[in-house]
Structure 1
Amino acid sequence: MSVFRTEKVVVLGLGYVGLPLAVALAKKFDVTGLDIDTRRVEELQAGTDRTREVEPEALKASTLALTSTPDDCRGADIYIVTVPTPVDGDNQPDLRPVVGATRSLAALLDPARKPIVVYESTVYPGVTEEVCGPLIEEVSGLERGKDFFLGYSPERINPGDREHTVDRIVKVVAGENSEVLERLAALYGAATSAGVFRAASIKAAEAAKVIENAQRDINIAFMNEITQIFAKLDLSIWDVLEAAGTKWNFLKFQPGLVGGHCIGVDPYYLSFRAQQLGQEPNVILAGRSINDRMGAWVADTLHERRGGAGSALVMGLTFKENVPDLRNSKVIDVIRRLEERGHTVTIHDPLADAAEARHEYGVKLDGGALERSYDLVVVAVPHEAYRDLPDDKLASLVAEGGLLADLKNLYARRTISGVERWSL
């Protein structure tokens, strides 16, 4: 089962995770990228990646084949599933994207090729073998371990991160037997310069991924909690962290709005599984609760600081800086709470897609928002475009008697004359 250049690989899902992986693998293998979003495929075929994870030159130069037609992907040797794993309105795991992708690929498997189905989507331990495997058997009529095999390699994409790209990070791999494991180690090892780590089992690899993000979530929750405590003492968290950070073993986490497709979601997968097993995940859920309430706390604090409602500008809607990714952005919590408190809110973001903002959150982006002044200006996302604004431009955004709220301490070293400022 050695890997050859002629081996056929299919990557299902061409988003933030799937596209960079498919492009990296296509440098060594025969790779087809499948996405059910025809608009997405057409954009990629034209050399445009709206996620900005793959540069246009790299996309155009890639040998990656692109399709929105599942039939084009029949008879591959390896299928890699990279679809999202969100939560529903009750913060319960929503496995519908994974289930849908599994059903689709099950109909494409050729048992003569002994295909491997690899999941990269973040799930709770057990999903690959206890949910996906049986579903493939049910749909295809094939037998796992004989006609097809399972593997898992958790995604570690950090949107906007140009250092820890998929071709430079250690890839954890797991297979249902040693032969599958070595085949996946060879596949992923050919795509990354950092090497691979062979996990003890598929469940161990699933668990490793979900705790990576749960750990960050809990640490940020601590930061958010002490931020709220220090606010009552009229202490800036940034001043406290600057002092505490001089200790050699102090963990340098920061407070903020915790959203996105991983940190704000994955802990719910782990807590769901724990509760299924009769174990109450107190620490995990406490952290989630603190972080989920942070947006409303920020809005309430600013409302009280302002002494009432007025016009408000929120700068940044994406879930983090310098990316167009709007998924699970907690900035919307600040916006909605300000509106509940009577503020008229204008939203600006230089990177977010206006149509996606309307679809996801029902809000309008105002491209000309930086040409007016407001009673309250909230710099919610530290985009580079906002960092580059000159002092006089920032001052012009704040009406007389207004407040500039800098949530990520972006302008800590800046002198903005005549403007009242607030930060966490």
Structure 2
Amino acid sequence: MTTTFSDKKTRDDDREHDRYELDTNDGGTALEHVEEPSTREATICVVGLGYVGLPLAVGFAQSEYRVLGYDVDETTVGRLQAGIDTTGDLSDEAIQDGDISYTTDASVIGEADYVVITVPTPIDDDDRPDLSYVESAGATVGSKMTPGTTVVLESTVYPGSTREVLVPALEEASDLVAGKDFFVGYSPERATPGDPEHGLEDVVKVVSAQNETVLDDVATLYESIVDAGVHRAPSIEVAEACKVVENAQRDLNIAFVNELSMAFDEMGVDAQAVLEAAGTKWNFHDYRPGLVGGHCIPVDPYFLAYRSERDGYDPELVRKSRQVNESVPDHVADMTIKALNRCHKTLRDSRVLVLGLSYKPGVGDIRSSKVDEVVDALSEYDVDVAGFDPFADDDAVRDAFGIEVQETLSFEGFDAVLLATPHAEFGELDLGAVAAELESNPALIDVAGTYEEADAVDAGFVYRRL
């Protein structure tokens, strides 16, 4: 049979929404696109105003859409209403620019033609995907949306989640049918916090939808804000899978160089010198060892592994890569202990200053940072640890890490410096002046190799790096 859904009103006019003629025998296969509207007349609601959702909301608003930003966190919404950038990647001016409203009132969802869901998708204590936020968002959106709405999920999920988790939540809460009364798409987020060269408009956007007509509509919407263009995936499952594969690949490559680093450390060979030499070959891929934290690389491989194992295949390489990268904090702590021993320091009397506590350079986000695991490992040896980070919130660090946190950088009284997260500001330090301020015969553990070993040794440090 064919079903035509009627128009709905948006904003304060009687503008017609898209009308589709659908064959719903297979859940809604589009046969004909009846009307082509001006997408910039649409109202868009972004659900979840974190490091993915907020830039998206601002991007749509700056492209002259009417945007409704919805989040359950009253503190976040309050700061946004006051015109404050809560991510650090935009600006206060950007938050205030364009036709955009921030609210904790879910009823605004009913005003939207498009609802984009950008809620967190963490893993639980057993490394299994936790899609409770997606399910909850689906229930909220479903309870408020009106017929004709298109819902796009951007949260990272395992293949099949949009159909298995989001759609049932939307249908149950709305009493509507996907593909007949409302429409669904998936577009994996590719946000890179702290990287101004790869913002929303600069990175190709993968888009997918439940049928070709909805795909055309969603692709047109994203093409209007993404200068790099869009890639139309042949299915929602392909788009879901591509996201987890992107980060599983990075996890695997970083695990390889981390394992090399640990192996060469036992051999007494400089791993980074080896990588620089190998990198002279034209087809060698340039990855460097380091702590692997954040919301994507340490998480997404588990989504892939979960779905794969559910269907009967054990992805051993994916899991092994995770094991290797999860072992690096202990290895960094071990490097620090060995460096203190070489300096003839008594561990229980030693003080180590950790520079950089966030999960990556240039950002203040300490969630999913692996530095706290290094701190925990050092504490097991009764080493006194303090920290400093020019981006992270000091109170949040104290609560999360349980260490002394400096508000003004000082090296006095410390036996070693552990450069864990190489913020650009740390690369400008005068090593000679730093060594002079430290206790005698100090150590420098330079995780990412920010400094040249010869410079550190000349400054008077016992130097170690991955």
Q: Secondary structure at 1:370's aligned position in 2?
A: coil
RMSD of aligned alpha carbons: 1.5
Distance in 2 of aligned mates of 1:373 and 1:386: 19
Matches within 5 A, 1:204-353: 204-307=238-341, 309=347, 310-353=350-393
For normalisation by structure 2, the TM-score amounts to 0.88
Q: How do 1:7-406 and structure 2 match up within 5 A?
A: 7-26=42-61, 27-111=63-147, 114-307=148-341, 309=347, 310-406=350-446
CA deviation string 1:367-402 (max 9, x = no partner):
135242311210001112211222344224532122
Partner residue, 2:6: none
- The worse-fitting range, judged by mean Cα deviation, of 399-408 and 388-397 is 388-397
The farther-off stretch of 180-189 and 368-377 is 368-377
Deviates more, 1:303-312 or 1:249-258: 303-312
- Conserved 8 A contact 1:398-1:404: no
> Higher Cα Rg: structure 1 or 2?
2
Unaligned residue ranges in structure 2 (runs of 5+): 1-17, 19-35
Q: TM-score, normalised by structure 1?
A: 0.96
Amino acid at match of 1:420: V
Shift of 1:178: 0.8
Distance of aligned partners of 1:25 and 1:365 in 2 relative to their CA distance in 1, 3 Å threshold: same
Q: Is the 8 A contact 1:51 1:324 kept in 2?
A: no
Assess, with a 3 A threshold, how the Cα gap between structure 1 residues 403 and 413 changes in structure 2: closer, same or farther.
Answer: closer
Q: Give the drift of 1:115.
A: 0.7
Cα distance in 1 for residues equivalent to 2:107 and 2:396: 29
CA contact (8 A) 1:11 1:32 kept: yes
| Identity in percent | 42
CA–CA distance in structure 1, aligned partners of residues 164 and 260 of structure 2: 40
Work out the CA distance in 2 between the residues paired with 1:177 and 1:130.
Answer: 17
Deviations 1:97-138 (A, max 9, x none): 212211111111101xx1111110000000001111011111
Distance 1:159 1:286, change over 3 A: same
Larger deviation, residues 302-311 vs 318-327: 302-311
CA distance, structure 2, for counterparts of residue 104 and residue 314 of structure 1? 42
| Paired AA for residue 92 in structure 2 | P
Q: Which moved more, 1:198-207 or 1:362-371?
A: 362-371
1:198 and 1:277 map into 2 onto residues whose CA distance is: 26
1:301 deviation in Å? 2.4
CA shift at 1:60, angstroms?
2.3
- Note if contact 1:391-1:414 (Cα within 8 Å) is conserved in structure 2: no
Write the distance in 2 (CA, Å) between the matches of 1:53 and 1:414. 35
Amino acid at match of 1:16: Y
C-alpha distance in 2 between matches for 1:218 and 1:355: 34
Counterpart for residue 41 of structure 2 = 6
User: For residue 152 of structure 2, what is the amino acid of its counterpart?
Assistant: V
2:461 equivalent to 1:419: yes
Tell me how far 1:366 sits from its aligned partner. 2.1
Distance 1:170 1:266 in 2: 19
Paired AA for residue 54 in structure 2 = L
| 1:92 Cα deviation after fit | 1.2
Question: Which one is further off, 117-126 or 401-410?
Answer: 401-410
Distance 1:362 1:85, change over 3 A: farther
Number of aligned positions between the proteins: 422
45-54 or 249-258: bigger deviation: 45-54
Distance 2:400 2:271 in 1: 32
1:56 Cα shift? 2.0
> Which blocks of at least 5 consecutive residues in structure 1 are unaligned?
none
